[in-house]
Amino acid sequence: MTSEQFDLTPAPQTVGLFRAFAALGGLTVLLGLFLAPQRMWPDLLFGSYALLCLGLAGLFFVALQYVSGASWSVALRRVPEAMAATLPVGAAGLAVILLVKPSLWPWLGMSWQAAEGYLGFKRVWLSQGFFLARSAVYLAVWLAFALAIVRTSRQQDASGAPELTRRNIRLSTAFVIIFSLTFCLASSDWIMSLEPKWYSTIFGVYNFAGLFTSGLAAMALLVVWLQRTGALKHSVTRDHLQDLGTLILAFSTFWAYIWFSQYMLIWYANLPEETIYFIRRAHGYWKTLFLLNFIINWVVPFLALLPRGNKRNPRVLVTISIVVLLGRALDLYLMILPPFSGAQPVFGIWEAGVLLGTVGLFALVVLRALRQAPLVPIGDPFLPESLHYHA
């Protein structure tokens, strides 16, 4: 096997389309920051956080494969590795918000008197310097791991040294542990503290569930696309697709489990400072979105992916992956936007532009990363096992 066999040359129309998306998104952001800043800043947080999460999902998937010693996924590992390339882009967007518009978080700059009712711990935790320092640490640690793990994997293409697999297993073990702690904190910092009086101890797990389900859906889309266009034609089979489908089914159900756990405890206890979060989201048109969120993130994928044949069918898998990604966008929208848009949900040119831009940027960055290395990790000692995998 030579590396030339696995080169990717995407059709110029495909690249052009995503360039247009990204350009449109960039234009919307620039215009929005001047014409409608009160809507653009939350939208920008939405886009940056979405990109960041997709990158983290890719990296976490790679780490999970190394830690669990999985061989089935080796043939398609370059796809999640390429997804990790969106991490710096998301991080840059977030850094801009943190540095230019920290007042997006309503507790920032609040006087001690106004902060009445906040527990002592929250006063210390939610102080600007500490908040920015924490954010910097999260982003730096994730970027460092992404760089190290992807580089080690690519080094193996040339040498095929099993020592590199061992090094990545060690790196991945550290990453999985550090990621689980830092991501819980980061999602609470960046998203939960938008409504600083409200809190939910399961919020980090809930965010992780959405992150990983949508990351798997994005992976499935890319894998089917690469297989269709010929690049992964001979290395990825329906058995690989079935496993991706099974993972989407499992993590969508995990998301539903956590979603309900968060909802039920708050509903049962019925404490005003906790229920405020759901009261805001379960009235008026928000209620429609609130219920739709559960349907497209769990009911649809669950029923559609139960039969074995559907998990192996690229068309079904692509459709469900798109549904799951739309569900992820809606889930993030419901997490981030309500405190800004008030009694009724808003969706206009600014939100649509940011959504398109996020999709375009994601596709462009992933395509570029996919072309930087052979599409199949040709030096991995487990590759033959993966190529002959039977689900």
Partner 1 sequence: MSRRVFLGIFGNEEDILAATRAAREAGYKISDVYTPHAVHGLDAALGLRRSRLPWICFLAGLTGAVLKVWFEFWTTMVDWPVNVGGKPWNSLPAFVPVTFEVMVLSAGVTTLFAFLVVARLWPGHKPALPQPGITDDRFVLALEEADAAFDAARVRRLLEKFHVVEVEEHLQEEAA
User: Which residues of the chain form contacts with partner 1 (CB under 8 A)?
Assistant: 260, 263-264, 267-268, 270, 306-308, 390
The DSSP secondary structure of 192-205, one letter per residue, reads: GGGSTT---TTHHH
Q: How far is the CB of 390 from partner 1 (least distance, A)?
A: 5
Closer residue to partner 1, CB minimum distance, 112 or 268? 268
- Calculate helix-pair angle for 314-336, 37-68, nearest 10 degrees: 130
With H, G, I as helix, E, B as strand and everything else as coil, classify residue 264: helix
Q: How far is the CB of 327 from partner 1 (least distance, A)?
A: 20
Cα(222)–Cα(193) distance, integer angstroms: 33
Closer residue to partner 1, CB minimum distance, 3 or 261? 261
Closer residue to partner 1, CB minimum distance, 34 or 268? 268
Integer CA distances (angstroms), 297 to 201, 222, 233, 305, 317, in order: 21, 19, 29, 12, 14
Q: Which long-range contacts (CB under 8 A, 24 or more apart) does 96-100 make?
A: 96/44, 96/48, 97/41, 97/44, 97/45, 97/48, 98/132, 98/135, 99/132
Closer residue to partner 1, CB minimum distance, 230 or 307? 307
Closer residue to partner 1, CB minimum distance, 260 or 285? 260
Residue 171: CA atoms inside 13 Å, Cβ hemisphere, count?
23
Closer residue to partner 1, CB minimum distance, 233 or 308? 308
Q: Residues, the chain, total?
A: 391
Cα(349)–Cα(136) distance, integer angstroms: 31
Structure tokens at 272: 């005003």
Closer residue to partner 1, CB minimum distance, 130 or 260? 260
Integer CA distances (angstroms), 220 to 52, 207, 214, 314, in order: 18, 20, 10, 9
Q: How far is the CB of 37 from partner 1 (least distance, A)?
A: 39
Q: How far is the CB of 262 from partner 1 (least distance, A)?
A: 12
Closer residue to partner 1, CB minimum distance, 313 or 341? 313
Q: How far is the CB of 264 from partner 1 (least distance, A)?
A: 5
The burial class, CB within 10 Å (0-12 / 13-18 / 19+), for 357 is: buried
With H, G, I as helix, E, B as strand and everything else as coil, classify residue 60: helix
Q: How far is the CB of 309 from partner 1 (least distance, A)?
A: 9
Closer residue to partner 1, CB minimum distance, 132 or 265? 265
Contact 314, 247 (CB under 8 A): no
Contact 73, 386 (CB under 8 A): yes
Rg for the chain, CA atoms, rounded: 21
With H, G, I as helix, E, B as strand and everything else as coil, classify residue 171: helix
Q: How far is the CB of 123 from partner 1 (least distance, A)?
A: 32
Place of tokens 């495909």: 14
Q: How far is the CB of 302 from partner 1 (least distance, A)?
A: 11
Q: How far is the CB of 307 from partner 1 (least distance, A)?
A: 8
